[in-house]
Amino acid sequence: MLLAIDIGNTMTDFLLVEEGKESIYYCVSSRRDLTVEEAIASTSLFFQHNHIPTTSVEGVIISSVVPALTEVYNALCHSLFHVPPMILGPRLKTGVKIVTDNPKEVGADMIAGAAGAKVKGLLPCIIVDFGTATKVYLVDKTGAFLGCSIAAGIGLQSRSLSSSAALLPEVSPSIPAKILGKNTTDSMNSALTYGNVFMAKALADGVEKEAGYPCKRILTGGFSKYVAPLMGDYDYEPRLLLEGLLDIYRRNRQ
């Protein structure tokens, strides 16, 4: 049984897979103050609830953009599974060539996303990742990462509005019936949903124009569920990064 862990700024996602069986997904909040003991306790409860012995985990791979939590889950893997995890970084073979000014700057999440698109046969593609940050990036027909555009994500925008404007509440994202809001909540949600979709689609169109060839369009990320109905013909792949991580694990298993 293999376990992929994707540690993002807002959520930490887990995908547990075993050949011939349905995969199991779950997620928890990416708390910066999470202790190793707390992580072990919550993960143990998940395994107990699903009647899965922790000893069945033979391999783990971690992608992280939160260094403090990388250490927490690294320790968890040693303590709970007695397995040293692979941690996505420069030493691993990913199958993704990074064609940027400084490849070390490219987030592990985008490398995993590119690997996921490659293993699923979705190339060339433009990936729109609605996470803590909204990222739009291009992966060519060989699986190479060619660059990205990064903006504040839906959650960040909502919190920023409510914390900076005294009369605006923090809202849970939802798609209002019309773009023109008739109350504060709908007006804010209009920009959070329609506004972010318009921005992402326009960026994707611009990226495709710069690339000079047609690309598949892929939607992923933790906040993607709030805007998926507005994204039209985009392929919705909520587990793209986790599937990419598992492919990277298999490439490096030897």
Residue 57's CATH number: 3.30.420.40
Q: Are residues 223 and 187 in the same domain?
A: yes
Q: Are residues 156 and 73 in the same domain?
A: no
Which residue among the candidates 109, 140, 186, 235 is catalytic per the annotation? 109
Q: Are residues 150 and 107 in the same domain?
A: yes
> Containing domain of residue 72, as a range?
2-87
Cβ pair 95, 186 in contact under 8 A: no
Using one digit for the tens of pLDDT, what is the confidence trace for 159-210?
999 999 999 998 999 999 999 999 999 999 999 999 999 999 999 999 999 9
Side by side, the strands of the sheet bearing 59-64 are 24-29, 11-17, 2-7, 59-64, 86-87
Question: Residues 172, 181, 163, 11: what is their CA dihedral angle, to the nearest 10 degrees?
Answer: 30
State the alpha helices, DSSP H only, in 25-107: 36-49, 67-76
Using one digit for the tens of pLDDT, what is the confidence trace for 89-114?
988 999 999 999 999 999 999 999 99
Q: Are residues 124 and 18 in the same domain?
A: no
Report how far residue 42's alpha carbon sits from residue 14's, in angstroms, rounded to the nearest whole number: 12
Q: Could you tell me what percent of the chain has a pLDDT over 90?
A: 96
- For 33, the token pair is 């103050």
Cβ pair 32, 66 in contact under 8 A: yes
Q: Establish whether 109 is a catalytic residue.
A: yes
Q: Are residues 30 and 124 in the same domain?
A: no
Q: How, if at all, do strands 125-130 and 11-17 pair?
A: unpaired
Q: Are residues 55 and 181 in the same domain?
A: no
For the chain, the domain total comes to: 2
Side by side, the strands of the sheet bearing 133-139 are 145-152, 133-139, 125-130, 216-220, 235-236
Report how far residue 248's alpha carbon sits from residue 233's, in angstroms, rounded to the nearest whole number: 28
Q: Are residues 71 and 119 in the same domain?
A: no
Question: Residues 100, 105, 109, 115: what is their CA dihedral angle, to the nearest 10 degrees?
Answer: 30
Using one digit for the tens of pLDDT, what is the confidence trace for 46-58?
999 999 999 999 9
Between 170 and 120, the higher pLDDT residue: 120
